[in-house]
């Protein structure tokens, strides 16, 4: 057996390079492992010089005396194999030549062909039954080669084996009766001297026993059977039938051969005689090497395998690559030759591979997946009785050693399989798979019956390894300088490392352990680590006490946040069993809360002050109209909200007080910012005489405040007030949250709104002066200028200024500015309209100006909405300007339009009523009016009656200048006169269809001595008279009943406007006449009860 090296200097150089940290032995495993797994130490794969010499001689001897053809993937050149052996054993050329010469001088081994006759198929049926009783004769013929490499060149003959091979060298299989597909599976060891002049011979015969004709006739089944009986009669009794033969040159065979061969006939009568399945293997006996004479073949092969695999791994490591478990062609060829020559079974080869790989895995770096193949092979072929006691001990030791080593790797999996190396998860998964498969083996169960279940062993290893890892991390973070602040930083780093490790366990490692062994690594690690962390954090917070400096407060806050992240990884409180050591850990940090809140406010205030001081009050970009300080302020508030969310204090009542403090500080910062930014604007404006620059800065200030208001409006969402309200619902009085938090926020929002309105009002005042000046200039432009041209200066002024404001103000502030300017503009226009009441031209200009201003301020939907434009002031001004801009005749038409509207709306007949029929004949252009009667007239005379008559006129007079008024007959003392008179008016169609065109029926009380008294007026719209083009003249004209009306007693606005036009005679005449009618109406207004 191999022994350990006594001095490290004797190790080959490349092997010394391959030594890794993973050479720690399995005795490092934790105390919880079984005693067997702790005491086992893996055997070393390094050999003493004497052992290496013997092993090298064995390898050279194997190459020098190779037999047969090699596999296609093996190395055929012996020189290449010898060079590889020199490298694998790290020999100098002189030493290699010396040992090679010694190997050449050794006696050759005895050569044997191990031939296994497995079976045959489709052979000839020689018996009467159609079957045969086949057996085989086989042996080796030496001294005579087979020319051409095939048996066909030799003369076909029967009894090849009996005729060419001495009887004592002939081997015979058993007879398989009555079959055409015999199975023998018999192995024969055939010696030969020279492979070049030796050939393998096999004859297959049908055993023929002596039977009577009666017996054979009993077996007869068909005509072919009868022919066989006749043939049997002719041949000698007891003579066997030839079934076929096979001749193979040994030098054409591979070291190992396994295939079907066709059986050759001696004649062409039956050329197809079936096939025979043969296995060949060239083996040695009496090898002259010292290793073969002194050690079992299995042990020698194991050592050779260890040496070559060690070299393969070392070569890859020297080239900075990892071995993938595949042997080089040279190593595979040598090991194949050695196993073949030594006639090692597949089971013993798998055993050797397992022992070699399991030993090397504990000292060299290569994939654990290489162990799976020998595990599978051993399990498949396992029979305990086929191994010697010593081999069973070796196998049990290898199981225990690998288990202990694997558990030690699992215990230290964080450092052995770091995630910084890409294939670490795959390597750990492979190791677990190997351990699982090994522990499931029948061999493991029989040889290691006292081993605990693998999941239990792995769980204990993980638990112990987690504690060890924590203590290593704690030592790593131990501060160089002693002090509470340094200790806090070290503890923070430790907690962060622990949290990171748990994240890795949860995301990566847990899946691997669960899939392999159904082990919850994360829960195991979390349970161990949370107790360790809790103990150290609690001890530290007790040492800090209640006096918390700003630096200490910052350190405690970071530690608190890290602990929250740590606890969030744990199981949900509703699903876990028992109490965690970290439950309620926030109470340990309660003394630090005032320091945290003060630090948060101080940092934010300093940032606000610095941001304002560096602000040049210039918009950040075209689409962002606030300046840098507004952005910095938003960041400050976001940081405060983030701090509040990080804190997330568990106690509801204390959480409410903390939130109140955060809101109070945020509101205070907002007001401080307003003061600072206004002071900054005054400071920058003091150095500029340009008023436009000052306006720019004012726009930026207003935009910044608007941005601040938007940010403050998001405060309830950012601080999760709704969630807080649900948490404190059972602690606080109803409405307390609304009265505190919301009241604070609404107060600061109101203050910001006032500041914004003040700024916008200042900007509006600068524009209002310009608007008033342009409106006054509009009224002073000479009359020859068209109204559309007269308003151009005003519109250009507004276009420039509003575009400027729209560019420099955010939409909310620009809309506020437009509202102020619109209100002011309407006031100025109203005052101007009042001053120009008697001037249609000026009123026309103001009317057009109002129309264009409405379009300008609406700006196609980008400015003020219609409901904001169409105020009561606007509508009144619009009506007034529409009247003032009209001509006198247009006003007269409007007057009659209003009287017609009044007539249509009048239903009361308290003044009386007149009944008429009217029609129009378009062909004659005649308007025919039949005045039928009047009724219920007012008694205007002192005798209690009246003397009524009706005056008929077509109004307005300027539309019917050629038509004089008509009158009916006067009826004495009659309040219900029946006139029954007809009047015709020659009038064209067009004026009758104009707005306001009507027939005015004035009912008067005739007075002989004075002026006639007014009974009332009735208005018939001409457009409603039947007979105009487009109307069908009815067969019978309808009667129209018109209630009498009085003029408006308070004064008609149209008449007032016409009265103001002193230079217009037509207007003045119309006003006098209407005023006279109004005066008459005022004298006879009906009293209640009439």
CA 490 – CA 45 distance, rounded (Å)? 44
CA 148 – CA 535 distance, rounded (Å)? 89
End-to-end CA distance of the chain, in Å?
A: 148
Q: Which region, left, alpha or beta, applies to residue 259 given φ > 0 means left and ψ of -120 to 50 means alpha?
A: beta
Q: What is the pLDDT of residues 965-976, one digit of tens each?
A: 999 999 999 999
Q: How many CB atoms are located within 10 Å of the residue 481 CB? A: 7
For tokens 């690690």, the residue is: 525
Q: How many CB atoms are located within 10 Å of the residue 390 CB? A: 12
Weakest mean pLDDT among 9-18, 45-54, 649-658, 861-870: 9-18
CA 470 – CA 473 distance, rounded (Å)? 5
158-189 burial, b at 16+ Cβ within 10 Å, e below that, comes to eebbeebbeeeebbebebbeeeeebebeeebe
Q: Which long-range contacts does 594-599 make (Cβ < 8 Å, 24+ apart)? A: 594/548, 595/548, 595/549, 595/550, 595/552, 595/553, 595/556, 596/553, 596/556, 596/557, 596/643, 596/647, 597/658, 597/661, 597/662, 597/665, 598/550, 599/550, 599/553, 599/554, 599/557
Given a cut of 50, is residue 9 above it in pLDDT?
no
**The pLDDT value given to residue 359:** 87
- pLDDT band at residue 571 using 50, 70 and 90 as cut-offs: confident
Given a cut of 70, is residue 678 above it in pLDDT?
yes
The pLDDT mean for the chain works out to 85
What 3-state DSSP class applies to 319? coil
Question: Comparing C-alpha atoms, which of 46, 223, 39, 195 is closest to residue 111?
Answer: 195
CA 510 – CA 1057 distance, rounded (Å)? 95
- pLDDT band at residue 112 using 50, 70 and 90 as cut-offs: very high
For tokens 């013997």, the residue is: 54
Mean pLDDT in residue range 697-712: 89
Q: Which long-range contacts does 411-415 make (Cβ < 8 Å, 24+ apart)? A: 411/28, 411/29, 411/30, 411/461, 411/462, 411/464, 411/465, 411/468, 412/465, 412/468, 412/469, 413/462, 413/465, 413/509, 414/465, 414/469, 414/501, 415/469
**The pLDDT value given to residue 738:** 76
For tokens 């007014």, the residue is: 1014
Q: What is the pLDDT of residues 925-961, one digit of tens each?
A: 899 999 999 999 999 888 889 999 999 999 999 999 9
Peptide bond preceding 887 in cis form (omega within 30 of 0): no
Q: How many CB atoms are located within 10 Å of the residue 92 CB? A: 9
**The pLDDT value given to residue 452:** 93
**The pLDDT value given to residue 21:** 29
Q: What is the pLDDT of residues 465-507, one digit of tens each?
A: 999 999 999 999 998 888 889 999 999 999 999 999 999 999 9
**The pLDDT value given to residue 19:** 28
Given a cut of 90, is residue 862 above it in pLDDT?
no
**The pLDDT value given to residue 486:** 92
CA distances from 608 to 528, 661, 668, 674, 703 (A): 45, 18, 12, 11, 17
Pick 10 or 58 by higher pLDDT: 58
- What phi and psi, each to the nearest 5 degrees, are found at residue 352? -60, -45
Given a cut of 80, is residue 151 above it in pLDDT?
no
Task: Tokens for 521, please give them.
Answer: 């690594």
Task: Tokens for 550, please give them.
Answer: 């700003």
CA 456 – CA 692 distance, rounded (Å)? 82
Nearest 5°: the CA angle 394, 396, 398 is: 70
**Helix or strand holding residue 639 (H, E):** helix 628-647
**The pLDDT value given to residue 387:** 80
Nearest 5°: the CA angle 94, 97, 100 is: 150
Percent of the chain with pLDDT over 90: 43
935-952 burial, b at 16+ Cβ within 10 Å, e below that, comes to eebbebeeeeebbbbbeb
**The pLDDT value given to residue 159:** 59
Q: What is the pLDDT of residues 945-955, one digit of tens each?
A: 999 999 999 99
User: Would you list the DSSP string of 66-113?
Assistant: --SBPPTTS---HHHHHHHHHHHTT--HHHHHHHHHHHHHSPPPEEEE
Mean pLDDT in residue range 604-624: 88
Percent of the chain with pLDDT over 70: 89
**The pLDDT value given to residue 143:** 80
Mean pLDDT in residue range 771-789: 83
Given a cut of 80, is residue 985 above it in pLDDT?
yes
Q: Which region, left, alpha or beta, applies to residue 584 given φ > 0 means left and ψ of -120 to 50 means alpha?
A: left
Beta carbons of 491 and 536 less than 8 angstroms apart: yes
Q: What is the pLDDT of residues 179-189, one digit of tens each?
A: 999 999 999 99
Q: What is the pLDDT of residues 1004-1029, one digit of tens each?
A: 999 887 788 899 999 999 988 998 87
**The pLDDT value given to residue 64:** 92
CA 498 – CA 472 distance, rounded (Å)? 12
**The pLDDT value given to residue 901:** 92
Q: Is the pTM of this model over 0.75?
A: no
**The pLDDT value given to residue 34:** 39
- pLDDT band at residue 4 using 50, 70 and 90 as cut-offs: very low
**The pLDDT value given to residue 809:** 83
């Amino acid at each position: 057996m191999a022994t350990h090296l006594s001095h490290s200097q004797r190790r080959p150089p490349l092997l010394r390079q391959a030594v890794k940290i993973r050479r720690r032995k399995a005795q490092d495993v934790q105390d919880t492992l079984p005693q067997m797994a702790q005491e086992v130490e893996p055997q070393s794969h390094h050999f003493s010089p004497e052992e290496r010499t013997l092993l090298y001689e064995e390898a050279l001897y194997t190459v020098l005396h190779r037999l047969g053809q090699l596999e296609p993937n093996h190395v055929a050149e012996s020189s290449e194999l010898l060079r590889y052996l020199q490298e694998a054993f790290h020999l100098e050329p002189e030493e290699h030549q010396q040992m090679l010469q010694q190997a050449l001088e050794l006696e050759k081994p005895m050569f044997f062909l191990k031939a296994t006759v497995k079976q045959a198929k489709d052979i000839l049926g020689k018996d009467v039954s159609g079957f045969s009783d086949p057996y085989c004769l086989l042996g080796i013929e030496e001294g005579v080669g087979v020319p051409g490499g095939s048996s066909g060149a030799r003369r076909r003959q029967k009894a090849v084996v009996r005729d060419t091979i001495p009887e004592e060298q002939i081997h015979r299989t058993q007879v398989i009766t009555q079959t055409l597909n015999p199975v023998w599976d018999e192995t024969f060891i055939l010696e030969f001297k020279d492979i070049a002049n030796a050939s393998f011979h096999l004859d297959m015969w049908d055993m023929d026993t002596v039977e009577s004709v009666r017996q054979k006739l009993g077996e007869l089944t068909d005509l072919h059977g009868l022919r066989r009986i006749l043939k049997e009669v002719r041949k000698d009794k007891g003579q066997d039938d030839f079934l076929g033969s096979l001749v193979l040159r040994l030098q054409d065979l591979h070291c190992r051969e396994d295939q079907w061969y066709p059986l050759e006939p001696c004649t062409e009568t039956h050329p197809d005689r079936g096939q025979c399945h043969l296995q060949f293997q060239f083996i040695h006996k009496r090898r002259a090497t010292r290793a073969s004479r002194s050690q079992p073949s299995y042990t020698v092969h194991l050592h050779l395998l260890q040496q070559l695999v060690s070299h393969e791994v070392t070569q890859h490591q020297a080239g900075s690559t990892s071995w993938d478990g595949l042997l080089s062609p040279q190593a595979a060829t040598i090991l194949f030759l050695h196993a073949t020559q030594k006639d090692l079974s597949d089971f013993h080869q798998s055993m050797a591979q397992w022992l070699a790989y399991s030993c090397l895995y504990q000292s060299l770096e290569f994939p654990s997946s290489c162990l799976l193949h020998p595990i599978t092979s051993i399990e498949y072929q396992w029979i305990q009785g086929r191994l010697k006691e010593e081999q069973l001990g070796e196998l049990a030791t290898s199981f225990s050693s690998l288990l202990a080593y694997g558990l030690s790797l699992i215990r230290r999996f964080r450092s052995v399989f770091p995630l910084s190396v890409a294939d670490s998860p795959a390597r750990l998964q492979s190791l677990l798979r190997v351990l699982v498969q090994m522990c499931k083996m029948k061999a493991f169960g029989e040889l290691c019956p006292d081993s605990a279940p693998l999941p239990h062993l792995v769980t204990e290893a993980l638990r112990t390894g987690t504690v060890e890892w924590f203590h290593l991390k704690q030592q790593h973070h131990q501060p160089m300088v002693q002090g509470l602040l340094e200790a806090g930083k070290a503890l923070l780093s430790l907690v962060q490392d622990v949290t990171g490790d748990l994240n890795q366990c949860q995301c990566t490692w847990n899946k691997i352990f669960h899939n392999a062994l159904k082990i919850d690594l994360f829960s195991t690690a979390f349970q161990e680590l949370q107790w360790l962390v809790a103990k150290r954090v609690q001890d530290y917070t007790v040492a800090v006490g209640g006096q918390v400096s700003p630096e200490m407060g910052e350190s405690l806050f970071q530690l608190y946040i890290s602990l929250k992240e740590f606890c969030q990884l744990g199981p949900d409180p509703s699903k876990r069993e028992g109490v965690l050591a970290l439950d309620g850990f926030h109470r340990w940090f309660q003394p630090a809360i005032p320091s945290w809140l003060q630090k948060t406010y101080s940092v934010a205030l300093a940032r606000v002050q610095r941001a304002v001081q560096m602000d040049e009050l210039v918009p950040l970009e075209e689409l962002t109209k606030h300046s840098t300080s507004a952005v910095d302020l938003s960041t400050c508030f976001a940081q405060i909200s983030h701090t509040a969310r990080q804190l997330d204090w568990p106690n509801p009542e204390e959480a409410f007080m903390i939130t109140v403090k955060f809101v109070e500080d945020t509101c205070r910062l907002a007001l401080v910012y307003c003061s600072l930014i206004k002071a900054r604007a005054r400071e920058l404006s003091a150095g500029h005489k340009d008023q436009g620059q000052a306006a720019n800065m004012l726009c930026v200030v207003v935009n910044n405040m608007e941005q601040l208001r938007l940010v403050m409006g998001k405060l309830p969402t950012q601080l999760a007030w709704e969630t807080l309200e649900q948490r404190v619902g059972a602690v606080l009085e109803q409405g307390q949250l609304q009265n505190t938090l919301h009241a604070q926020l609404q107060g600061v929002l109101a203050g910001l709104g006032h500041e914004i309105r003040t700024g916008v009002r200042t900007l509006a005042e600068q524009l209002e002066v310009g608007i008033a000046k342009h409106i006054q200039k509009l009224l002073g432009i000479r009359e020859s200028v068209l109204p559309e041209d007269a308003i151009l200066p005003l519109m250009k002024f507004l276009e420039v200024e509003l575009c400027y404001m729209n560019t420099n103000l955010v939409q909310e502030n620009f809309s506020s500015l437009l509202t102020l300017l619109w209100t002011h503009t309407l006031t100025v226009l109203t005052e101007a309209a009042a001053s120009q009441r008697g001037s249609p031209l000026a009123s026309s200009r103001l009317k057009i100006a109002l129309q264009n201003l409405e379009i300008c301020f609406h700006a196609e939907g980008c400015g003020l909405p219609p409901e904001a434009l169409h105020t009561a002031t606007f509508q009144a001004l619009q009506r007034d300007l529409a009247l003032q801009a009209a001509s006198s005749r247009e006003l007269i038409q409007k007057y009659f339009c209003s009287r017609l509207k009044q007539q249509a709306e009048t239903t009361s007949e308290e003044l009386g009523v007149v009944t008429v029929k009217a029609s129009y004949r378009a062909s004659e252009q005649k308007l025919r009016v039949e005045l039928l009667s009047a009724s219920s007239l007012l008694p205007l005379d002192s005798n209690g009656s009246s003397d009524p008559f009706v005056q008929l006129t077509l109004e307005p007079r300027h539309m019917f200048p050629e038509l004089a008024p008509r009158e009916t007959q006067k009826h004495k003392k009659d309040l219900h006169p029946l006139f029954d008179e007809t009047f015709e008016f020659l009038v064209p169609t067009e004026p009758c269809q104009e707005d306001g065109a009507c027939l005015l029926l004035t009912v008067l009380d005739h007075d002989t001595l004075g002026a006639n008294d007014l009974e009332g007026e009735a208005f018939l719209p001409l457009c409603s008279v039947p007979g105009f083009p487009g109307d069908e003249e009815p067969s019978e004209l309808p009667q129209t009943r018109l209630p009498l009306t009085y003029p408006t007693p308070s004064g008609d606005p149209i008449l007032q406007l016409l009265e103001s036009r002193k230079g217009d005679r037509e207007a003045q005449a119309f006003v006098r006449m209407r005023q006279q009618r109004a005066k008459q109406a005022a004298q006879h207004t009906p009293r209640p009860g009439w």
